[in-house]
Amino acid sequence: MKLILMLQESKKKLTADQLAETFGVSRRTIFRDLRALSEVNVPVTWDEFSGYGVMSGYRIPPLMFTSKELATILVGLNFVKSQVDKELVDDAKGVEIKIRNVLPGDLKKYMNSLDNRTVIDPFMHFGSEKKKGGSWYEISSAISKNKKIEFSYNSKYTEEKTNRVVEPYLLVFYKDHWNMIGYSEKREDFRNFVLDRITNLKILDQNFDPDREFDVEDLIFRSESTSQIIIVDIEEDAFKRFKANLPAKILNSTEINPKLFRVKLKFENLAYINEWLLQFGKKVKVISPNELIGKRKLILNQMLDNI
């Protein structure tokens, strides 16, 4: 690793004697290691007057991976490739190709074997149509440089298109879409924006100081003033899945008995949470508010009418 980095960073060629002295090894060891680099397709060059270097313009990967690290990377890439964001999928495939091209034969064989036998989220991987996920890369650049952004935004509820100037703070990827949380100059508060509703995005030449007090978890699960307290009872065998996928922050939970939990949360869109709760069937009972209980009865009756 040190030899690779030294050849990559040096502005001039280095002789075998210089390398041997630097690492405190013999010339023979240096020759052996240089040969090993050539065998993994690192274009080592040699000149009888100036010594060893690498081909001009060639970028050597700064890391070599163990098999466990490689397996971890592969799982991560497969997770990204299973998502519905087409740009993410394409970028993950590009990263995978670059890694394959610089791996030695045994690790390349190991990676191929894992790739053919490791499937992450098969329903998303095989059954979901890929779509454009929005300008997440441009927004991430603005976040890293503390630059304000300007864009047109199509409201989900009113279909109204408005112009926004926002200080971007967070990018959040849910199962099928990107969101950006930022400070809206129009609303003078933090707001959440779905990326596929953003058009005409521009990074402005205006810096902002990200000194507003915020907590990442609070920003993601923040409750609007119109949010309501929701209380539900959920059976023990569904509780773990409920907590893992709940699109809100649990305020508190109490064990009523070993088989039943009472959960308190806060959520704004009762129509959405009502449909979300249906996946748990009779394992969930809505305790309050009455408005949500009414919506639950209504949607169940509509489902019965469709039978």
User: Which pLDDT belongs to residue 280?
Assistant: 94
Query: Is pLDDT above 60 for 72?
Result: yes
Residue in 262, 225, 234, 228 with CA at minimum distance from that of residue 248: 228
In the chain, DSSP assigns E strands to 44-47, 51-54, 147-154, 161-173, 178-184, 189-194, 198-207, 228-235, 250-257, 260-267, 284-288
Confidence of residue 160 (pLDDT cuts 50, 70, 90): confident
Residue with tokens 């495939």: 93
User: Which pLDDT belongs to residue 128?
Assistant: 64
Query: Is pLDDT above 70 for 61?
Result: no
User: Which pLDDT belongs to residue 63?
Assistant: 59
281: left (phi over 0), alpha (psi -120 to 50) or beta: left
Report the alpha-carbon distance of residue 297 to residue 302 in Å, rounded: 9
Query: Is pLDDT above 90 for 293?
Result: yes
Residues contacting residue 37 through CB under 8 Å, at least 6 positions apart = 3, 4, 7, 44
Instruction: Supply the DSSP string of 97-161, one letter for each residue.
Output: HHHHHHS-HHHHHHHHHHHHH--SSHHHHHH---B---SHHHHHHHHHHTEEEEEEEE-TTT--E
**Is the Cβ–Cβ distance between 202 and 213 less than 8 Å?**
no
Backbone angles phi, psi at 292, to 5 degrees: -70, -40
Residue in 258, 261, 262, 263 with CA at minimum distance from that of residue 246: 263
User: Which pLDDT belongs to residue 6?
Assistant: 79
b/e burial code for range 215-235 (CB count within 10 A of at least 16 → b): eeeeeebbbeeeebebbbebb
Whether the model clears a pTM of 0.75, i.e. scores above it, the answer is no
Query: Is pLDDT above 80 for 18?
Result: yes
Best-predicted range by mean pLDDT (127-141, 144-158, 252-266):
252-266
Comparing 42 with 24, which gets the higher pLDDT? 24
**What average pLDDT does the chain have?**
84
User: Which pLDDT belongs to residue 216?
Assistant: 78
**Is the Cβ–Cβ distance between 228 and 289 less than 8 Å?**
yes
Average pLDDT value for residue range 73-102 = 80
User: Which pLDDT belongs to residue 5?
Assistant: 72
pLDDT digits (tens, 9 = 90+) for 185-223: 888 888 889 888 899 999 999 999 877 666 777 777 776
pLDDT digits (tens, 9 = 90+) for 30-58: 999 988 888 877 788 888 778 888 776 66
Report the alpha-carbon distance of residue 151 to residue 158 in Å, rounded: 17
Work out whether the CA dihedral 18, 23, 26, 28 comes out positive or negative.
negative
User: Which pLDDT belongs to residue 213?
Assistant: 66
C-alpha distances (whole Å) from 28 to each of 19, 23, 33, 44, 235 are 11, 12, 9, 16, 69
Residue with tokens 């969930």: 284
Q: Is 194 helix (H, G, I), strand (E, B) or coil?
A: strand
Query: Is pLDDT above 90 for 242?
Result: yes
User: Which pLDDT belongs to residue 68?
Assistant: 83
User: Which pLDDT belongs to residue 123?
Assistant: 65
